[in-house]
Amino acid sequence: MPGSPSDHLRRRRSRDYADFADFVAARQHALHRAAYLMVGDVGLAEDLVQEALTKTYQAWPRLRSKGNPETYVRTAITTTAITWFRRRSWTGERVSAELPERSSVGHAEGVTDGAWLWDCLQRLPVRQRVAVVLRYYEDLTEAQTAEVMGCAVGTVKSQVSAALTKLRLDPSVLQNQAVTR
């Protein structure tokens, strides 16, 4: 029977899948960039986005009707990243094939502003990093950032403030400012 309830459900699921696929195609790169800035590793960022999109797909029919699935995905990315770092008792160290050279001669020529900013961002605790990424890289308001992080606006303000204070007190930040002036 063409008009049976099972046919209707099948068409609706097919439409949901197509809508979800369109959403992923349109937003995957932006979501991956945000995740990468939060976790600092390409592979981990890919895993993070994949897990968040899996959660989003499961909730897609409900999210599609509300009209703003991106907030849900960003929240899933943020909370999953924070949970992963808590579980791993992350110390901020990263495995690298090469040891970095620390030389003041030629340092300014060898390091771009982006690499310098990246290093500074990676030294922040995960919640502070997430708050800075969402506020300044993703250009979300304090209220939107609070919604994504699942916390109060005051918490966003304090996390950003603490991050900026830490960056101001970081000797490598001060050294780079002196070299570039």
Query: 116 and 160 share a domain?
Result: yes
| Rounded distance between C-alpha atoms, residue 68 and residue 102, angstroms | 46
- Global confidence as pTM: 0.59
Is the pLDDT assigned to residue 98 strictly greater than 90?
no
The phi, psi pair for 96, rounded to 5°, reads -140, 145
| Rounded distance between C-alpha atoms, residue 80 and residue 29, angstroms | 18
Query: 9 and 54 share a domain?
Result: yes
Domain assignment of residue 148, given as a range: 103-181
The pLDDT tens digits for 4-41 are 767 666 676 667 788 889 999 999 999 999 999 888 88
The phi, psi pair for 106, rounded to 5°, reads 75, 5
Query: 83 and 118 share a domain?
Result: no
